[in-house]
Amino acid sequence: MPDFLYIHIPFCARKCIYCDFLSFPYDRDLALGYIRALCTELTLRKEGSGPLRSVYIGGGTPTSLPEDAFEMLFNVLREQYAFSSDAEITVEANPGSVDASKFRLLADLGVNRISIGIQSFIDDELKTLQRIHSSAEAVRAVETAEKVGIRNISVDLMYGIPGQTASSFQRSLSTACSLAPVHISTYELTPEERTPLFSEIRSGKLLLPEEEEVIGMYACAIDYLTSRGFSHYEISNFAVPGYESRHNLNYWDRGEYLGAGAGAHSFRGGSRARNTSDMNRYIHDLERSILPEEDSAIVSPEEALEELIFLGLRKTQGIALSAAEALGTDLVRSSGELIEQGYLETDSRFIRLTDKGLVLSNMVIVRLMKELGL
């Protein structure tokens, strides 16, 4: 049984303009019915579980849940699962859906890491993204989490937002650092086809910053955060040393994990499985004590190599050459041209993106995949 558990809470007060994750408008009755079903799933999946080293509750917006729903969920987790003494227990939060009472409850329930989806500290940019909070509320959310005793706080920021400039992005970085979180994630805004953002960009209503400006924002994040003591340990993630996200590192290392909730994925025993995304079917199946898995498949050697490259190169440590060799691949030989051009570098144990390669990581990964025939 994996010792990493992901739990999906697919509810939001309002879906953001850029979001294509599985989520539903919050409704208390539906949410409580969902939590009851989720508790049944967690009970059905407990067999053979060892102590959990990480629990990550994501969404959606988990903090849209009422406090009694969190109590119900954690009661089942504590009853059915053992936890390691240093377990990392993360809950994603949005500033518009959480207050001191909810943060205090989460801390009392054992949550020791909060990931706050702020995206920007500039009000005009928040309006463009159709976020439900203001910059002042974002600041207050971080300060409130700290006041109730949660020290491991991560802040999410976005760059490449329509109307954003290098200067405004640096102001967001500066405000984030002034609040002293131990982890900051910076994600490039990517317009997904099924989102209102994609439609507004295609129609010309919104304009993305130029590519060179976006690359400059990413380079700014690297320089600004590393100069302030953050370790750049993954393409989009920076941490005070010792506060790297254990849960996400497990994903990037292709570690096993169990997923619970509608649309959640699992990886164990060399197979990937996915729960149904149909909310009604999810609840109905679990009312009959049937696990709601929709499909599962064994990961082929080719797929494993693809994942190793795509996920492993996200880490600034890079890919262990021994992991590629175990899949029958000599990555150094296959990467010769990319190494010569300064996009990749190697030592005796790892192959990794250079600083030049980091800002063009998608291109580097695509070229390496092509070289390997993937």
How far apart, in whole angstroms, are the C-alpha atoms of residue 332 and residue 351? 7
Q: Hey, what are 278's tokens?
A: 């149909």
- Residues 266, 268, 273: CA angle, nearest 5 degrees: 35
Q: Name which of 210, 212, 194 is nearest 202 in CA terms.
A: 194
List the domains of the chain with CATH numbers.
Answer: 4-252 (3.80.30.20), 301-371 (1.10.10.920)
How far apart, in whole angstroms, are the C-alpha atoms of residue 324 and residue 330? 7
**Tens-digit pLDDT profile for residues 174-211:** 999 999 999 999 999 999 888 999 999 999 999 999 99
Q: Hey, what are 165's tokens?
A: 């400039």
How far apart, in whole angstroms, are the C-alpha atoms of residue 155 and residue 313? 23
3-state helix, strand, coil in the chain (%, to 5): 45, 25, 35
- Residues 358, 359, 362: CA angle, nearest 5 degrees: 80
Predicted local distance difference test score (pLDDT) of residue 49: 64
Give the contacts of 271 (CB within 8 A, at least 6 positions apart).
296, 297, 298, 299
Dihedral angle at the C-alpha atoms of 68, 72, 73, 77, nearest 10 degrees? 140
- pLDDT beneath 50, residues of the chain: none
Distance set, CA 93 to CA 111, 119, 146, 196 (Å): 12, 12, 14, 23
Residue whose token pair is 């109730």? 148
Q: Hey, what are 34's tokens?
A: 């969902």
DSSP state of 112: -
The helix/strand/coil state of 251 is: helix
Predicted local distance difference test score (pLDDT) of residue 151: 96
Long-range contacts of 105-109 (CB under 8 A, 24+ apart): 105/67, 105/70, 105/71, 106/70, 106/150, 107/148, 107/149, 107/150, 109/70, 109/71, 109/74
Q: Hey, what are 302's tokens?
A: 């080719």
